[in-house]
Structure 1
Amino acid sequence: MRKLLLMAAVAVFGLSNVNAQDENTTGGFAEGDVFATGSISFGSETFADEKLNQFTFNPSVGYFVSENIAVGVSLGYMSSKSEDGVSDDIKVSALTAGAFGQYYFTPGEQFSFLVQLTAAYTSGKTEVGDAEAKNNGFIAGFAPGISYFVSDCLALQANIGVLSYQTTKPDFDGAESTDNFNIGLNLTDINFGITYKFN
């Protein structure tokens, strides 16, 4: 899917101001730091006569409990709409709430590799015409990534979702859960975000 990432505009703005920062200021994290991370994206893709629009928003807040380890909480929202002009539109939406843990290899430096573990509860809904189906589930994932400070407080972050597990169960009596395990090494599995460190 052709993704249009709003964070790219902020990234360009941040990079354009790097030279305005003090030469000794490279950012980095330390024990006790509090930070907020967010990513937002939307995209549109067309298959023959079918058009798919999608929007995602994922904010989170974290805290460094030690020199290398950060923990935090996250929220997420996703919505998509598929239409072909003939049959009923298909609308999908989902909310997630969870927690994460991150290990930074060189947290005090401007650039650092990191690994992240996540776990979240998800609640979703699918609408086809007047019909509606709800589902609940659990998601767990492991993702390596990188963090790069473009100023003392602003960093760009990228993660690739290598391993993930998801279980989903429709919200009605007698429904059975569906389990999925995924190994993602494609460019579509890379997630970009912006991190702000509070001083």
Structure 2
Amino acid sequence: MKKIILTAVAVFALSFANAQDKKEKSSEGFSEGDVFVTGSVGFSSNKYDNNGDYKSSDFNFKPTVNYFVTENISLGLGLNFGGGSVEATPISGKDKTSTVGAGLNGRYYFTPSSKFSVFTQLGFDYASKKYSPNGASSFKDNSFTVAFAPGLNYFVSSNFSIETKIAALSYGSSKYDTTGAENRTSFGLAADWSAVSFGVNYKF
């Protein structure tokens, strides 16, 4: 995983360097050689009773950078960092989790140079979530997911665009790294609003 992160950092650095070398563009839309970044940051903290017992907190950071290798096709690399804790009582101590992952995606834009475009995305994601129960041995849950998602992109300025995606189809496989653990698989088909996501992109 350390090699994956170092490789990802190198790709990020090269992409930003390439973006700085390009001439500034005033037109909306994407073209070959464009770079855009997107991602999400989240944090939550909860208390489940008035005495402050049973506390939980979670955070995640998921940056992604995409590069247009042709007029219509972009390739992207994303990272996934997260963590959390649960404390049932003040004397029970905290059960902690931490997540490290990376992903690749490929997109095809039907009208990339336009203000509005439809695209399709195929993504591959790997994540390793570590569970560290208080007073017990830690263990990991390693997972791999493949997902197909059509979406819409709309430029609100020459550099910023908003997008929405629908996680139409997905397949996942995961397994705990404990003795005797069995592989778990899942298949998803979009059926409600929980499969819809929104995002903001910045084009260099």
Q: TM-score, normalised by structure 2?
A: 0.72
Equivalent in the alignment of 1:169: 175
2:116 to 111, 114, 122: 111
Rate the CA distance shift 1:187–1:31 in 2: closer, same or farther, 3 A: same
Asked if residue 73 in structure 1 is aligned to residue 74 in structure 2, the reply is no
Q: Which has the higher contact order (CA 8 A, sep 6+)?
A: 1
Equivalent in the alignment of 1:4: none
Equivalent in the alignment of 2:158: 152
User: Partner letter of residue 57 of structure 1?
Assistant: F
Equivalent in the alignment of 2:68: 64
Unaligned runs of 5+ in 2: 1-25
Q: How many residues are treated as equivalent by the alignment? A: 174
More deviation in 82-91 or 59-68?
Answer: 82-91
Rate the CA distance shift 1:156–1:119 in 2: closer, same or farther, 3 A: same
Rate the CA distance shift 1:158–1:130 in 2: closer, same or farther, 3 A: farther
Secondary structure of residue in 2 paired with 1:188? helix
By percentage of residues, which structure has more strand? 1
Distance in 2 between the 1:107 and 1:46 partners? 46
Secondary structure of residue in 2 paired with 1:30? coil
Question: Post-superposition shift, 1:167?
Answer: 1.0
Equivalent in the alignment of 1:142: 148
Distance in 1 between the 2:60 and 2:135 partners? 24
Rate the CA distance shift 1:111–1:44 in 2: closer, same or farther, 3 A: farther
Aligned-residue identity in percent: 41
Question: Post-superposition shift, 1:109?
Answer: 1.3
Q: Is the 8 A contact 1:36 1:62 kept in 2?
A: yes
Equivalent in the alignment of 1:189: 195
Question: Post-superposition shift, 1:26?
Answer: 5.5
Rate the CA distance shift 1:94–1:72 in 2: closer, same or farther, 3 A: same
Distance in 2 between the 1:83 and 1:138 partners? 29
Distance in 1 between the 2:149 and 2:55 partners? 30
Question: Post-superposition shift, 1:194?
Answer: 2.1
Deviations 1:86-118 (A, max 9, x none): 866543332111210011122111122221110
Equivalent in the alignment of 2:97: 92
Give the aligned CA root-mean-square deviation in angstroms: 2.5
User: Partner letter of residue 105 of structure 2?
Assistant: F
Equivalent in the alignment of 1:55: 59
Equivalent in the alignment of 1:102: 107
